[in-house]
Amino acid sequence: MQALELSGIYKNFGSVRAVESSNLTFAAGELTALLGPSGCGKTTLLRMIAGLEEPSGGSILLGGRDITGLAAHQRKFGMVFQNFALFPHLSVRENVVYALVISGVSKTEAMETGNRLLDLVQLSGYGDRRIGELSGGQRQRVAIARALAQEPEVFLLDEPMSALDAKLREDMQVELRLLQQRLGITTVVVTHDQREAMTMADKIVVMSQGRVEQVGPPHQIYHRPENAFVADFIGKANFFDGVIEKGGIRVGSVLLQAQAAANFLNGSPVRVACRPETPCFFQRDAAGTSLKSKVTFVRDVGAVRDIHLETEIGRMIVEYARGETDHDFRIGQELSIVLPADGLHVFPRAEQAVA
């Protein structure tokens, strides 16, 4: 398997820049997720990789070889489409071996490969069925097997789980990840579901408005977001606007202790992000800022409860996991919470410094 490299690639649709100039490397054998909201340019980027969209500039390199000028049928990257794009006039097996048949592989060999791939995606015995007889999950497996039949150097998936129901989606995420690890194929998945990206990817590329916002492994993206967009888009976060003051952050009447504040000059306007699982209840010795708060709403979602609080610095949602001590929260109850100094993410805010 070879690494895929995008160098200064961008795409314009008329006067609209769909994808800003991007430099990305997809390491050999790794699964990379292109993650972002609808219209952020992730699918356009994937289609440029596949050869289905011509870049307005920049180059695509596969193992150091420039493939920018190659058409899709010359690149032969296996691709799974959002709606699976299976051929209704062919049986399941004929769909799977399509790439082999058109490339002139003998029928016997193609059928053997087809059966092996159907085994791989746990659909042996389904080869003679029509596409219309399959469920959504089965269709997705056929689409995966079909894309893998030509043993592509790069495997591309465009929102492959979006047509599946929630339960099946979670199962397929794990299955797809295990399959990719078994085959060790360089894979790029487009998704707008951050949970899906976190589950499957070795590396996540977060995109917004055609730009690459951050690239990194899932834990880094989650725990060390580089900007407010990433902090907001990946997982949940409480946001507060403040100003740097004496090594802390002034938010209203409260001076928050935050390790990250040391990176900013006094008077700099900043935005603070705090993950809902970061604040601590009932731990008075925790290092950080203690805030008075009042419970306004409790949302029980099973394993955890979202506690909605009105605090001195604004409204917050704090996640409380049921542990050995199961506290009872009541609306109107007054509580003290601690925001740990190392749990606050601080980003510059586009605003003039307060004098």
Partner 1 sequence: MTLVSDTQAAVVHPKPQSARFTVSVPAVVLWTVILFLCLTPFLLVLAISFGQKIEGASWEWAFTFANYERVFVGANWPEEFTALYLQRLYYSLFYAVIAALLAILTAFPFTYLMTRLSRRAQSAWLVFILSSLSLSEVFIVMGWDVLLSNRSGLPMVFKETGLTDWLKANGYFETMREWGLANPRNVKFKTSVFATVLTMAYLVWPYAVILLYPPLSRLDRSMIEASQTMGAGPWTVMRTVILPTMRLPLLGATLLLFVFLLGVYVAVTVFAEPAKQTMAVSVYEAVRGNTLNAPFGSAQAVVLLCTAAIFLVAGQWISRKSAP
Residue ranges in contact with partner 1 by CB under 8 A: 50-52, 71-79, 81-83, 85-90, 98-99, 102-103, 130-132, 146-147, 149-150, 156
Give CA separation, 270 vs 310, 340, 353, in Å.
21, 18, 9
Tell me the closest approach of the beta carbon of residue 73 to partner 1, in angstroms.
Answer: 5
Task: State both tokens at 189.
Answer: 């998945």
What sign does the dihedral 248-250-253-257 (CA atoms) show? negative
User: Comparing C-alpha atoms, which of 138, 180, 134 is closest to residue 155?
Assistant: 180
In the bound state with partner 1, the residue whose beta carbon lies nearer, of 144 and 228, is: 144
Nearer to partner 1, 85 or 262 (CB): 85
Could you tell me if 209 and 249 are in contact, meaning their C-beta atoms sit under 8 angstroms apart?
A: no
Running DSSP on this structure, what letter comes out for residue 152? -
Closer by beta carbon to partner 1, 65 or else 73:
73
DSSP secondary-structure letter at 128? T
CB 332, CB 294: distance < 8 Å = yes
For residues 153 and 3, what is the distance between their CA atoms, to the nearest angstrom?
A: 9
Q: Strands 57-62 and 65-66, how do they pair?
A: antiparallel
| Shortest reach from residue 216's CB to partner 1, in Å | 28
Element (H, E) at 187: strand 186-191
Helix and strand totals (H; E) in the chain: 10, 20
- Could you tell me the smallest distance in angstroms from the CB atom of residue 132 to partner 1? 6
From residue 27, give the alpha-carbon distance in Å to each of 31, 161, 232: 8, 23, 27
Q: What is the dihedral of CA 163, 168, 171, 176, to 10 degrees?
A: -30
Q: How far is the CB of 35 from partner 1 (least distance, A)?
A: 21
123 vs 212, beta carbon nearer partner 1: 123
C-alpha dihedral (141, 146, 147, 148), degrees to nearest 10: 90
Comparison of 73 and 246: residue with beta carbon closer to partner 1: 73
Closest to partner 1 by CB, 132 or 323: 132
Nearer to partner 1, 192 or 271 (CB): 192
**Nearest distance in Å: CB 80, partner 1:** 9
CA angle 319, 321, 322 (to 5 degrees): 145
Closest approach of partner 1 to the CB of residue 97, in Å: 10
In sign, the C-alpha dihedral spanning 195, 196, 201, 206 is negative
Shorter beta-carbon distance to partner 1: residue 161 or 280? 161
Q: Which residue has the tokens 């510059």?
A: 348
Nearer to partner 1, 89 or 284 (CB): 89
Contact 19, 12 (CB under 8 A): no
**Closest approach of Cβ 122 to partner 1, in Å?**
22
CB of 147 to partner 1, least distance (A): 7
Q: Which of 291, 300, 304 is nearest to 340 (CA)?
A: 291
